[in-house]
Structure 1
Amino acid sequence: MKHTTNYINTFIEVAEDCPVSHAEAPPEKKIKTLAEFQYEQMIKNPYRYTSDDIIFECYALKNDIPESEKQQARIQFFSKGQPCLRSSPLSKRYGFGTHHNEEGKVAVFPVESKEYQKFLNDSSIKKVKAMRSKKI
């Protein structure tokens, strides 16, 4: 059975306990963080990749999976459930909402932007909140 993290026509809002009111780019580190990689993929390539594409590439980078082995590794990776972009630090910590279009391709939008508000007010788009960082 193949699992997926993809959403269709859905907007992931920032988490209720997100500490920022204006979006911040994740800080650059010597070793690229998950947040940095996700941010780069979605900011530079809006609506080019699906959630599955981004989450798997993060896994492949972290585990040094060579290009020649990626196809088989991806099948194995999605043979069990994986955390979706609702658990992304971009929506939990850095103030970005994630829109998944009709094809499941994703783009990020700063919480303070007009586009973010437009997605919130669009009744044709499903809304879900990012996961909280702390338990209540």
Structure 2
Amino acid sequence: MKDMNYYNTFIEVSEDCPAQTAEIPKSKNENKTIPVLQYEMIAGAPYQHTQEDILFEVFAQRNHIPEEQRQQEWEKFFSKGQPCLRTSSLGKRYGWGMHHNEQGKVALFAVESEEYKALKNDKSIKQVKAMRSSRG
């Protein structure tokens, strides 16, 4: 199975991100949305999870996959292509940059923060942007 993680990479907010300052995503009802789950997982444990961990855990929670089935479901989940965190609303809508360290573990940085600016200007790490929300 192919490794889907980013390493030494900074995902900047998208060019058409409306947030000038980072916003914490909120659920519309009792069901947590994908951005809420992603935010809680990454912000709650910076540099503890890889992109694969986050993508699968959000899928597993939203689909109520029991713990004992997760290993086989992981393999099934990643046997087909999955959108990466560049497609996440965190970078497209909510103003969060995502840094992936040498181990592929992710942390969030608010677009207005000094840390975000430093990572964006760090030429020693790969720079990519979150996907645009609209074609342009």
TMscore range, shorter length: over 0.9
The number of residues matched between the two structures is 135
Give the deviation of 1:3 after TM superposition. Answer: 3.4
Please list every run of 5 or more consecutive structure 2 residues that lacks an aligned counterpart in the other structure.
none
Alignment-mate amino acid for residue 127 of structure 2:
K
- In structure 1, what is the equivalent of residue 18 of structure 2? 19
Distance 2:80 2:110 in 1: 31
CA distance in 2, matches of 1:10, 1:49: 14
Q: Which string of whole-angstrom CA distances, capped at 9 and with x for unpartnered residues, describes residues 53-77 of structure 1?
A: 0000111111111100000000111
Is residue 2:8 matched to residue 1:9?
yes
**Aligned-partner Cα distance in 2 for 1:93–1:81:** 23
Kept in 2, the 8 Å contact 1:21–1:95? The answer is yes
- Any unmatched runs of 5+ in structure 1? none
The aligned amino acid for 1:21 is Q
- SS state of the match for residue 86, structure 2? helix
- Runs of at least 4 residues off by over 6 Å: none
1:44 Cα deviation (Å)?
0.9
Worse-matched range after superposition: 108-117 or 19-28: 19-28
SS in 2 for 1:78: helix
1:102 aligns with 2:102: yes
CA distance in 1 between counterparts of 2:125 and 2:132 reads 21
RMSD: 0.8
The 5 A counterparts of 1:50-61 are 50-61=50-61
